[in-house]
Copies of this chain bind each other. A is one copy, B any other.
C-alpha cells in the first residue's frame, strides 16, 4: 500500500496580475495541499520577477507549452488572457494534467465546449476560478434559496456597478478592452463571477434581451455598460445592470420569491419572510391592498471567505481525495454561454434564447474582431494583492 499523497504539484501559467497573486496566495501558506512547483510566462520581465521573487525550487518556463511538457507538475492553474484559455487548457488536459482555469472559461462557448469534451475524453479534471462562490454572503444566500424557505423565485434584480475603472486601466494593455485581444469588455472581464452566481442562485435563463453600450464611459471599442432583461424557465424574470463607469458604484442583489425576499448589499443579506405564499394570499385574501406581516431578519453569515485559496484548496482536495469542486466544468460553460447570449443580443438587438447558437455568436464576434484595433500602449502588470480578500463583494475581478 502506498502512503497517502500529501500535496498536488501545481504549475501556474501566466503570472501577470492574477497569476502572480495566486503565487503569493500559495507561498503565504494558504493552500496546505498545494505545492507551487512551476510558473510560465511569455514576457521576460515577468520571468525575471519570478526568478527574483519565488523560491528556488519553483521552475520558471518561457511558455505554457514548455511548462506542460516539463513534468514539473501534475496540475496547472491557467491565468492567461481569455483567448488563450482554450488552447492552453486543452494542451494540458491532453498531456494528462488536471486544469484549474481562470474565469471566464473562454471567450466563446464553442471554445468551452471543446475544453469540456477534451476533459471528458482524457478523464482529467477541468474546473474554473469561481472564487466568489466561496464568499460567505453568497454561500448563505445559496443555502437559503436551496432550503425552500422563501419558495420559488419570482424576480431578480442585480445592479452591479461597483467595479469602477479609469481610462488608465484600459490603457494598461494593448489587448485590453479590444475585440481581438479580449473579446469583450465588462461582460468578459468583470461580470463572469456575477453571471456564474446568478445561474448558481437562480438557475439558467431561457431567454434575454440586452443593451450593451460600447465605449460609453471610456475610449474603448468594447462594452463598458450593460443592461439585461432575463427570462427564466419557471416564469421568473430578472434585470442585470453592470458598468465600469459608475462612481461610487452599487452592488445590490434583490431576489423576490413567493414567500418573501432577500436583499444582498454591503455584505449583508436582509430577509423579509412571509408566513404564507404570496401566490396563495393573492387568490384567498379579501383585502384588495393586502400588506400583511413579514418577518424581517439579517441572514446569518459565517464570515469565512476563502476566495482564491478556497478554490485552489477544493481543487487539491478533489484531486487527492475526490472531494467536491467549487464549480464544475459545465458551470464554467454556462456562465460563458450567458455572457455570449448577452453580447449577441446587444450586437443584434434581438431577443436571444438559450442555448445560444455557437455558429451565430462566432460569426458575429468574428465581424467585431475584423474591425478591431489593438491599442499601441504597452502592457503593465499591477500589484493586485489587495484583491481577492473578499472585503469587497465584487473584488478579485482584476484578472489578467
Name A residues whose Cβ lies closer than 8 Å to a Cβ of B.
154-155, 157, 159, 161, 164-169, 172, 209, 211, 213, 216-218, 225, 227, 229, 235, 237, 239, 241, 243, 245-248, 250, 254, 256, 260-261, 263, 272, 274, 278, 281-283, 285-292, 294, 349, 351, 382, 398
Contact = CB atoms under 8 A, between A and B. Distances in A.
A362 B266 CA distance: 46
A47 to B, nearest CB: 23
A294 B154 contact: no
A286 B351 CA distance: 39
A247 B274 contact: yes
Of the listed residues A239, A243, A272, A351, the one surrounded by the most CB atoms of chain B closer than 10 A to its CB is: A239
A290 B164 contact: yes
Contacts of A278: 164, 245-247
Given A272-B248, A283-B166, A241 B289 contact: no
Contact of A247 (B254, B292, B398): B292
Contacts of A237: 211, 213, 225, 227
A281 B166 CA distance: 7
A290 B247 CA distance: 9
Nearest to A395: B289
Contact of A250 (B225, B254, B382): B254
A349 B229 CA distance: 13
Interchain residue pairs A-B with the least CB separation, the first 9 = A169-B288, A247-B278, A166-B285, A248-B272, A168-B288, A166-B290, A248-B294, A167-B283, A166-B282
Of the listed residues A216, A246, A282, the one surrounded by the most CB atoms of chain B closer than 10 A to its CB is: A282
Contacts of A216: 235
Contacts of A282: 166-167, 217-218, 245
Contacts of A166: 281-283, 285, 287-290
Given A211-B229, A239-B227, A239-B239, A289 B248 contact: no
Contact of A248 (B168, B260, B285): B260
Contacts of A155: 161, 241, 243, 246
Contacts of A235: 216
Nearest to A172: B288
Contacts of A254: 159, 250
A139 B220 CA distance: 38
A26 to B, nearest CB: 23
A211 B236 CA distance: 13
Contacts of A248: 260-261, 272, 274, 291, 294
20 contacts: A154-B245, A157-B159, A159-B254, A165-B288, A165-B289, A166-B281, A166-B285, A166-B288, A166-B290, A167-B283, A168-B288, A213-B237, A216-B235, A217-B282, A239-B239, A245-B278, A245-B282, A247-B274, A247-B290, A247-B294
A287 B157 contact: no
A290 B155 CA distance: 33
Of the listed residues A157, A209, A217, A263, the one surrounded by the most CB atoms of chain B closer than 10 A to its CB is: A157
Nearest to A243: B155
A245 to B, nearest CB: 7
A281 B247 contact: yes
A295 to B, nearest CB: 11
B246 A164 contact: no
B291 A164 contact: yes
A155 B165 CA distance: 17
